[in-house]
Amino acid sequence: EVKLVESGGGLVQAGTSLRLSCAISGFSFSDYDIGWFRQVPGKGRDGISCINRNHDRTYYAQSMEGRFTVSSDHVKNMVYLQIDSLETDDTAVYYCGAAPECVRWGVGGHGVGLNGAIYWGQGTQVTVSS
């Protein structure tokens, strides 16, 4: 069974950093590309970053470049999202997803997403206070 479990969210102060974790099981790192997304109530899920199945290439949405860093640990079967200089607008539920392909979309490829059937985790809430 393909399973992704996010953790590491919580209530944090603006200006601090946070590392979210995505524990994967039921599949190999070489099977899927992994993406990080976030969603606020009433809006769609926004792509933040993506790491390909070989974990040698990363993609970031243009609006997310600079403060977000995706990384992976093959030994632990984990994918991470580091968020620096947290802002109140970062308050959202953060999800990791696994799919056949990371994609860029939009004019100039400013957005990132996943293409194909996507397996989602349950999400982890990040709340940033001012």
What pLDDT is stored for residue 74 in this prediction? 86
Residue 115 forms beta bridges with which residues? Answer: 101
What pLDDT is stored for residue 80 in this prediction? 97
Residue 103 parent element (H or E)? strand 101-105
What pLDDT is stored for residue 30 in this prediction? 86
Per-residue pLDDT of the chain (130 residues; tens, 9 = 90+): 999 999 999 999 999 999 999 999 999 888 999 999 999 999 999 999 999 998 889 999 998 889 999 999 988 999 999 999 999 999 999 999 999 999 998 888 889 999 999 999 999 999 999 9
What pLDDT is stored for residue 128 in this prediction? 98
Backbone Cα Rg of the chain: 14
